[in-house]
Amino acid sequence: MPRVFFRLRAPSPAPGATLFLTGTHRGWSDEPQGWTFAPDGTLAAELPQGALLNVKVRALRPDGTVTEEGDAWGGRAPAHRLVVRGDTTLDLPVAGWQDGQGGQSRPTRSAPPRETVTLAAPWGEQPVRLWWPEDAGEDLPMLILHDGQNVFDEGPTFAGESWDAAGAAQALADAGLPCLIAALPVNEERSRRYVPFAFEMNGFASGADEYADWLRGALLPHLRGRFGPVGPERVALAGSSFGGLITAYAGLRDPSTYGTLGVFSPAIWPADHAFLRWLEGRSDPQARVWLDMGDHEGDTVESAAALVALTHDLAARLRPVVREVRVTVGEGHWHDEEAWRARLPGFLRWWLEGLGG
């Protein structure tokens, strides 16, 4: 197998801490044995040809606690990545260590929402982050986005990367294609709220139907009451990963509620791909579906190719039961906000231009 040489550059998190490597190749284990860095910051390992590595540095402190590398503001940092193609070296620059504050002081590069309102929901208060272009008029097409903490400014994001949704939407508004965006942040309840099937990560208790009911029965009436009676054909629902799964599920569960579904990198694997079985007999003849996947979304080149093939298979299942399916494969795209940011402008243009058809 190829040898990968890791070279670490990191500040010490504490005197006597043991620095070690974890990642997808280890199931994100907190056990340092066999993966500790030498005093000079080097580590060598044999890894399979074609592996798609996502790795991070963690530190075992003398008191037994483990902390993970972070960004310069103490928040979560993106993983280091590598496609294993023969012997190679991967540099691991570490800016800092997570401090439990979630990177609240992290500066932003992208535009924030114009306003945040709070609506009542069965799970408590639900923030709704709103953006619209200035002087855009009324009755704008509406886009509802899941994982709303990740879609605007970088401050509240999962790992310091956002979709820059306002930037993408403003560019289209400048081209005569304005829209309203309503983004819904989610917390540690994400797996329960977004996955409609019982599995380990949601404690075998899905809350997806409760969430879909709230979208249809509370959020949409609120948005229409404030911004105008936009018809279902001009409403889009979109999200990535588990957010892509709940988008497809809610859209097909409630036909004629959303005219367009933006299904980015859908994670349809829970409960042994139960979504594919649930899909049988479902339809929404008026819905347009954007379906995409990156070609680096897997643990190996082979598994990533299998995910792309599964995406094409899902498209084939959907085409007979919806109005239109658009499939996009992101070249060199991993499973992350950077990839979804790159694909969002194409989705927005496809959605908005299609409203005239």
The answer to whether domain 3-97 and domain 115-354 are alike in fold is no
pLDDT for position 132: 97
Instruction: Look at the block and give the residue holding tokens 């580590």.
Output: 43
Comparing CA positions, the residue from 144, 288, 113, 122 lying closest to residue 222 is: 144
**Distance of CA 339 to CAs 28, 240, 265, 336, Å?**
22, 10, 10, 6
CB of 47 within 8 A of CB of 15? no
Tell me the CA end-to-end span of the chain in Å, nearest whole number.
Answer: 53
Q: For 115-354, which CATH class?
A: alpha beta
Instruction: Look at the block and give the residue holding tokens 């970088």.
Output: 154
Write out pLDDT tens, residues 270-302. Answer: 999 999 999 999 999 999 999 999 999 999 999
Q: Considering Cα of 149, then 155, then 157, then 163, what sign does the dihedral take?
A: positive
SS3 300: strand
Fold entry, domain 3-97: Immunoglobulin-like (2.60.40)
Side chain identity at 266, as an amino acid letter? P
pLDDT for position 155: 85
CA atoms of 188 and 168, how far apart (whole Å): 28
CB of 10 within 8 A of CB of 69? yes
Instruction: Look at the block and give the residue holding tokens 């590595």.
Output: 53
pLDDT for position 137: 77
CA atoms of 31 and 22, how far apart (whole Å): 8
Angle between helices 270-278 and 242-253 (to 10 degrees): 30
Write out pLDDT tens, residues 32-84. Answer: 999 999 999 999 999 999 999 999 999 999 999 999 999 999 999 999 999 99
pLDDT for position 103: 66
Side chain identity at 169, as an amino acid letter? A
Binned at pLDDT 50, 70 and 90, residue 159 comes out as confident
Phi, psi values for residue 247, rounded to 5°: -60, -50
Can you give the residue ranges of every domain in the chain? 3-97, 115-354
